[in-house]
Structure 1
Amino acid sequence: MSVPPASSPPAASGRPLRVVIAPDSFKGTASATQAAAALAAGWSAARPDDIVVTVPIADGGEGTLDVFAAAVPDARREVLEVTGPDGRPVPGAAWLALPDGSALVELAQASGLPLMRGLDPLHAHTIGLGQLIGAALAAGARGVLVALGGSASTDGGTGVLRALGARFLDAAGQPLPPGGGALADLAAVDLRGLPAAPPEGIRCLVDVAAPLLGPTGAAAVFGPQKGAGPADIARLEAGLARLAELMPGTGSASMPGTGAALADQPGTGAAGGTAYGLAAALGATLVPGARTIAERAALPAALAEADLVITGEGRFDATSLTGKVVGGVLTMAEQAGVPALLVAGRVDGPVPPGVSAAVALVDLAGSPANAIAEPGRWLTLAGTRLADTSHQSAPAGRLLRQ
């Protein structure tokens, strides 16, 4: 992202500032909603006359459903028990019924890595996500948004499709066991049992540009995060390649291999190839997660009236500017001409020139352990620290420390 040199935050000029707080979650410590509330409390403690608007954001990973629930009036949670990524039941998974007749389904609710008892890269699957999508379709959803982030598996979306009625068969015509490790033995794909896509289609919210296959693909890049060693990665890659070779593609049940054309497309490697499976079998489209969620949360409208914006995440580094929430918010702030401030658990990369000041929670807390133990406390202090500097001349990219 290209950001021009920053101006300093607006000075107090006898009128309240309008401050928009739009963070991502601080993974494992605070949701986006919790982070926004803590930052707002800290800012308001230092500048009680300012108008503070919280717009928590997600990029399609964990917390997306909560962000939508907070941003969309009359959204309704529908809770059900699904099969988790290691086969154990997940009783509290939910999908969100939206007032426009569409549904939001979050992979992390049903098939996320934290739901695993232990890492199992070859056998973990996405069946639970398919059960959530199936429930939304059965309820009459006109369209489905699928938030793809935090996956425990590399099964190419076969778990999702299996739950919806597809069959993945070996050479003897028997169903393969779940998980990406079995796909190397795939001999046939039968999509005839799948339901029709909803009238407004399926859209996958993705925050990565990885293709399905190759050195930048689902197995090679994200497999290690799910416990895959070199031999596991090779087997998963072979299985995904076999899936792409045999996948018929939407509306082409008699034409094996039609789905191969999608395998090199950016984003199809998201969530262990789940984006690929949904695109190839159900015609799903892939859309940028952070930007789509920000628009649904009315962040552009909030920025149009803002004097400054605060964004943040658990760890800021070079990847933060490539499709994630912070990069998306900074781009939108640049386009709106709004100065930006940054809060992160850690700041492990150069602060962009468009950011007037940044605060790292580990600096405020004295150590990563302290920051993780009391995230609300340090986020509140970070909000106060940034508010205290809002009337000062802050050099572009200045990192504020204790």
Structure 2
Amino acid sequence: MPRVLLAPDKFKGTLTAGEVAAGLAAGIRSRCPSADVVTLPIADGGDGLLVAFEAAGFERVAVRATDATGRLAPASYVRSGQEAIVEMAEVAGFGRARSPHDPMTASSRGVGEAIAAAIEAGCTRVLVGIGGSASTDGGVGLVQALGARVLDANGAEVGPGGLGAGKAATVELEGLFKRLGATRIEVACDVDNPLTGPEGAAVVYGPQKGADPDQVSQLDAALTRWADVVTAATGIDYRNEPGTGAAGGVGFAALAILQAQLRPGAELMLERLGFREAVAEADLVVTGEGSLDEQTLRGKAPAAVASASHAAGVPVVAVAGRCSLDEGRLRSAGFDDVYTLVDEASTPQQALDDPTSLLRQIGFRLAGRVVCGAAAHQARSR
């Protein structure tokens, strides 16, 4: 029987990756019950990371962690054996904040608290997805939560956010190293910005987090000061390394202090979820996300799926809410075809109001065009 591997990302603001896969699977099975449909929801390091790993069998663990505004709130990570997955967007991202955040004091502390909870629960390997951050603190809050002491010129612990980073004078790391022990940290990071300067965390991403031009300048100066302090403590200057500007500088703290490995999020996801093993057994791969566009081609999960599928010689179809890529761009990225909700819908509003039924319709069409065709081909070959 033909095997279809469904590996979509979320349709942001509409459906989770698991819901997208379920809708497509229902449509395929309604027309071709003999199809072997395998679902493998994916993400790229931002929101949806925990859901994807949970669908792959990881167990969700409830914790309490500080959100970006400094409030202690319910949060979670997922684990399997001694491996834990922490999602910054879920712990301390925009969606978790219960009140408007101040771009100068928004903190990454909750991410460190979630990592600490996983370590205390016996995890020795932690993957942190740092997409969707709301802070620009250089990872000061992160390392404080893990046991580092970040002190001002008077020897007092600095406060939260970039405002705190700008007052840093020394950092003491003994407590952090003791807590981490032999824990291996990996970070899913999909941007290559340095920490500071015109392409740095404050200048490029600060405005997206509510910083006005004066605050952007203050944040960049604060991150520069923080980088000077960390360099003095570690003996190595990482501020210009690609990815250190990710998540408001959390990438810098992860690399310079946690000695973490920064890797592309989509690449890490496919590796951890066993995608390459799954695609080897597939006759067709279906991936996608809410908007298939130029951003998709810059290392996002559907592009990684298409590349890996193409390399394995397996056809791959994209399903999206909408698509702004022309056929040439799609083909060069490895996609054989694309189906969109806006094309399937009778009205543009239907694509927003009833995406699940449209995904079922697309799944039904895929079954008729590809899946049942593959089954007939296999029957003729026997």
TM-score, structure 1 normalization? 0.85
Please give the per-residue CA displacement for 1:23-56, whole angstroms capped at 9, x wherever unaligned: 1111121111111111111222233322211111
- Residue of 90, 93, 98 corresponding to 2:73: 90
* 1:351-362 to 2 correspondences below 5 Å: 351-353=329-331, 354-362=334-342
Closer/same/farther in 2, CA of residues 310 and 184 from structure 1, 3 Å limit: same
Aligned to 2:380: none
1:214 aligns with 2:197: yes
Alpha-carbon offset, residue 392 of structure 1: 11
Q: Which residue of 1 aligns with 2:87?
A: 106
Q: 1:239 aligns with which of 214, 222, 234?
A: 222
Q: What runs of 5+ residues in structure 1 fail to find an aligned partner?
A: 1-15, 249-254, 394-402
Moved more, 220-229 or 361-370: 361-370
One-letter amino acid of the counterpart of residue 123, structure 2? A
Partner of 2:185: 202
| Superposition deviation, residue 150 in structure 1 | 1.0
Return closer, same or farther for 1:367/1:122 CA change in 2, 3 Å cut-off.
Answer: farther
* Higher RCO structure, 1 or 2 (CA under 8 Å, sep 6+): 1
Q: Which amino acid aligns with 1:378?
A: L
Counterpart position of 2:169: 187
| Residue 100 of structure 2, aligned match among 99, 103, 118 | 118
Please give the residue correspondences for 1:363-402 in structure 2 after superposition, counting only pairs within 5 Å. 363-365=343-345, 369-390=349-370
SS across alignment from 1:342: strand
Specify whether residues 378 and 218 from structure 1 end up closer, same or farther in structure 2 by C-alpha distance, changes over 3 A only: farther
2: distance between equivalents of 1:18 and 1:202?
A: 35
Matched, 1:171 2:153: yes
Answer whether contact 1:245 1:257 (CA < 8 A) is retained.
Answer: no
Among 29, 32, 35, the alignment partner of 2:20 is 35
Runs of 4 or more consecutive aligned structure 1 residues displaced over 6 Å after TM superposition:
none
| Total equivalences in the alignment | 367
CA distance in 2, matches of 1:189, 1:114: 30
Q: In structure 2, do the counterparts of structure 1 residues 208 and 385 end up closer, same or farther at CA, with 3 Å as the change threshold?
A: farther
Does the aligned pair in 1 maintain the 2:287–2:302 contact within 8 Å? yes
- Structure 2 unaligned runs (5+)? 374-382
| Contact in 1 for aligned 2:162/2:222 (Cα 8 Å) | yes
- Equivalent residue, structure 2, for 1:5: none
RMSD across aligned positions (CA)? 2.2
Question: Paired residue for 2:114, among 124, 127, 132?
Answer: 132
Q: Equivalent of 2:126, from 144, 156, 162? A: 144
Q: Any residues of structure 2 matched to 1:57-72 within 5 Å, and which?
A: 57-72=42-57
Q: Is the contact made by 1:245 and 1:259 (CA closer than 8 Å) also made in structure 2?
A: no
Deviates more, 1:133-142 or 1:184-193: 184-193
Query: In the aligned structure 2, how far is the partner of 1:380 from the partner of 1:195?
Result: 51
CA offset at residue 382 of structure 1?
2.7
Match of 1:159 in 2: 141
**1:139 to 1:387, Cα distance in 2 relative to 1, 3 A:** same
Matched, 1:341 2:317: yes
Match for 1:293: what amino acid? M
Aligned partner of residue 214 in structure 2, secondary structure: helix
Name whichever structure is richer in helix by fraction: 2
CA contact (8 A) 2:35 2:371 kept: no
| Mean Cα deviation higher: 103-112 or 198-207 | 198-207
Mean CA deviation greater in 30-39 or 197-206: 197-206
Give the drift of 1:204: 0.8
Distance across 2 between alignment mates of 1:28 and 1:374 = 13
State the match for 2:280 in structure 1: 304
1:177 match: secondary structure: coil
Q: Is the 8 A contact 2:2 2:371 kept in 1?
A: no
Name the structure 2 match of 1:55: 40
TM-score, normalised to structure 2, is 0.89
8 Å contact from structure 1 (residues 86, 124) kept in 2: yes
- CA distance in 1 between counterparts of 2:352 and 2:203 reads 30
